[in-house]
Structures are given as C-alpha cells and as structure tokens.
Structure 1
Amino acid sequence: MTGRRLRAALAATVLVATLGGCGIRSTEVPTDFGPAPSRVPCVASSSGVSTQDEATGVPVQIFLVCASQLVTVDRTVRIPSEKATTDRVRIAQTLLDELSAPPSQTAKQAGYETDVRRGITVSGPQRGDPDVALRLSTRPADLSSLALAQIVCTYADGAVADSDGTVVLGGPAGTPLLRYECTQAVRSRPGTVAPPSQSVER
C-alpha cells in the first residue's frame, strides 16, 4: 500500500470512529478516499445538536439535513400527556416539533439544518382512515422534498410507523392518504429522491 493510500485509509478509520462515538450513523455520512472531501463533516457534540437535555426525558432520533443527506441525530424530549390525543399522535407531534426547531449555533457550524417549518401540526386518523394514519395540517405534496423526506424517515424510524416500517400520511381531512417508505436512496439524496409511496384505500 502506498503512503497516500495508507494515509487515506487511516483518515477514514478515524472518521468512522468519531461518528460512532457521537451517536450518528456512520453509513449516513460520505467518506471519500483520495483528496480530502470538501463537504461538511456533519460531526457535532451532543450538547450542540440537542435542544433538550432533561434527565427525565425520552430518547428519540430525528433526521436532519447535512451535506445534502439525511443524518440521524439523538434528542431527549418530553412527550406531552394530553388526554385528547393518542400516544401515537403525541409522539408524532413531538417529533415534528423537534424537526422544526432551528439547530443550535454549534449544530449549524457542523453543517446541520432542517427544512421542516414551524407551525405544522399532526392529528390522528379521520373516519374511514386506517388506524395507523397520521394527518398533517399541510398536505405532504405541499412540503419541500427535503421536509417530506425528513418527516417520513423520522416517523419510519420511530414508534409511529406501521408494523412494516412504512408511514401512512395525509393532509387535512378529506385529502388522499399515501403509504411512504424511507429508503437508503432517500436518506442519501433527499433533495432529488422522493420517498416511495402508494395510495391507501379508505
């Protein structure tokens, strides 16, 4: 192995070890051999990425955008206890709120950003919807490609997904429901690859 190849291999090993130590999946972040990549490394301390750190909180993961990809980020949150909604809806709203919260300055410097805008709410199934359906206050078709990918992948990776790991999403009552899937292609290219979807019959 030449000196250049040896140095590149060692650099890649260090990067993978660093990512594994901060709770971010190393497979989500590109590692290029050869010349040093110009893309943002997507590495930040947990205190710089999280918005809450209550000891009594619940650990969750959300997907933020970094280096044009979706990267998992650990968060500690408190799930509201309103009796008017189901556990699935409360968790879904909490995840949505985390997605729409602006990253801290430290996280921004590390390259993290979100395309999910504040003010979006989520509710449970309407009459005739499957039990796993979630309805956003904004139609999924009206979201940016990045925002939709962030929401779908965050929901698919958490407790609000269906048993097969898909997510049934729709807009306000009366709009069509679609079953979305978060694939590796979506995680790698959320700006250009839309989450695969299928119509859901009511």
Structure 2
Amino acid sequence: MNRRRTRPAVALLTAAVALLATGCGIRGTSVPVDAGAAPSRASCEAPEPDRAAEGTGRVRVRIYLPCGSRVLSLSRSMRLPKEQPPPEPVQIARALLEQLRQPPTAAETAAGFSTAVEDWVQVSGPASDDPDRALRLNRPPEELQSMALAQIVCTFGESTAADEHHRVVLGGPESDRDPLKRYTCTEEMRRHPEIAVNSGVLVS
C-alpha cells in the first residue's frame, strides 16, 4: 500500500471522529451559554383538600395562588368569624387574606404553588363615604405586586366580599387621597396577572 495515500485517509478519519466528538461539528466553547430557564416540573394541579382540617365552624373556600406565570384556584378549609348575623364583607375579606398570607402547604408547594401576598398586607372596611362593600388596603392597590393583587382580586371576587357581578372595590388607606377602583377577575387576569395593577376602573 502506498504510504502517501494512507496518510491523508488517516487524517480525514481523525478529523471526522473529532467532529462527532464535538457534537456534529459544533465547536466546543468555554463561554457559558444562556439556554433559558430549565423546564418546570410543577404539575399546577390543585391538591385534594385536607379532610382532617374540616369540622364544625369551618367552610370550604376557594383561593387563588400563583403557579408558574398564572394564578390558579384551589380549595381550602377555613374557619369563618362566629358573628351572628352572617359576617360582614370585610370580615370575610380578612379571613381570606389570612389564607393568602399563609405559606402554601407541603402538597401545594409540591404541585408548584406559592404566594405573593406578604404579611404586611392588611384590609379594612369602607370609609364613611364609601360604598357598603368597599375594601381599603393599607397600601394603594397599585403599589402591591401585580401577582399579589391578582390573588386578592380573584379570591375576594368569589366571595361575599364582592358584589353580585363578582367585582371587588378596593382603595388605599386614605379615603381623601386614594380613590376607589373596581376590579374584576377575568380569564385574562388569571393567565396574565401582570395586568392586575392597571386593570382597576375608577368608582364614580
């Protein structure tokens, strides 16, 4: 065999192996490549409510928690205020807000749920000139994280804290400076919570 012909053939074979080893001809690099976030394995499937937590004086309620980039509803057992006649809207709102402030349960966390509502968020009833079902937060709603506001609007909207059309009237703590706005939990808000802070309509 002619050695002059063998050497080029060996060189070509060596080059082909090198190309395969570097990923089909893609040259390796020491520079980090941002391929985006790793795929989430969260199921976002609401876990079954804890039956052991149910009992006298407790009711099933629906609250909204973030999972991924959305807010989704799930069921919890909650103790309602004992006042008779039935609790006022602000009492319902406070009990629901307490649920939103709580860390998710182990099952909720495993499914990918979290909460954006921080401990400092408080709610009170209407000021003297406000509509009956108005609720006032201790900060203007637009100063909350949009995800947190979407949680509050959607959770309150499925309760007696809202009006018959599931609309929620919210304002900040100062009635003379923080105008009331009406919020509605739409499908778009549930899918895109970032729109919540700009979705309020002034109450005339």
- Shorter-chain TM-score: what band? 0.7 to 0.9
Deviation string 1:7-63 (CA, Å, 9 cap, x unpaired) is: xxxxxxxxxxxxxxxxxxxxxxxxxxxxxx85521125325xx69813120111000
Alignment of 1:143-182 (within 5 A): 143-174=144-175, 175-182=178-185
Alignment pair present for 1:197 and 2:203: no
Question: Stretches of 4+ moved more than 4 A in 1?
Answer: none
More displaced 10-residue stretch of structure 1: 89-98 or 164-173: 164-173
What stretches of structure 1 of length at least 5 have no aligned partner?
1-36
Distance of aligned partners of 1:38 and 1:137 in 2 relative to their CA distance in 1, 3 Å threshold: closer
Residue 48 of structure 2: aligned partner:
46
Alignment pair present for 1:78 and 2:85: no
Amino acid at match of 1:158: S
Amino acid at match of 1:73: L
Normalising to structure 2: TM-score of the pair?
0.72
Distance of aligned partners of 1:105 and 1:46 in 2 relative to their CA distance in 1, 3 Å threshold: same
What is the aligned-residue identity percentage? 43
Alignment of 1:20-59 (within 5 A): 38=40, 40-47=42-49, 53-56=53-56, 57-59=58-60
Residue 125 of structure 2: aligned partner:
124
* 8 A contact 1:41–1:67 mirrored in 2: no
Distance of aligned partners of 1:126 and 1:52 in 2 relative to their CA distance in 1, 3 Å threshold: farther
Amino acid at match of 2:91: R
What stretches of structure 2 of length at least 5 have no aligned partner?
1-38
Amino acid at match of 2:155: T
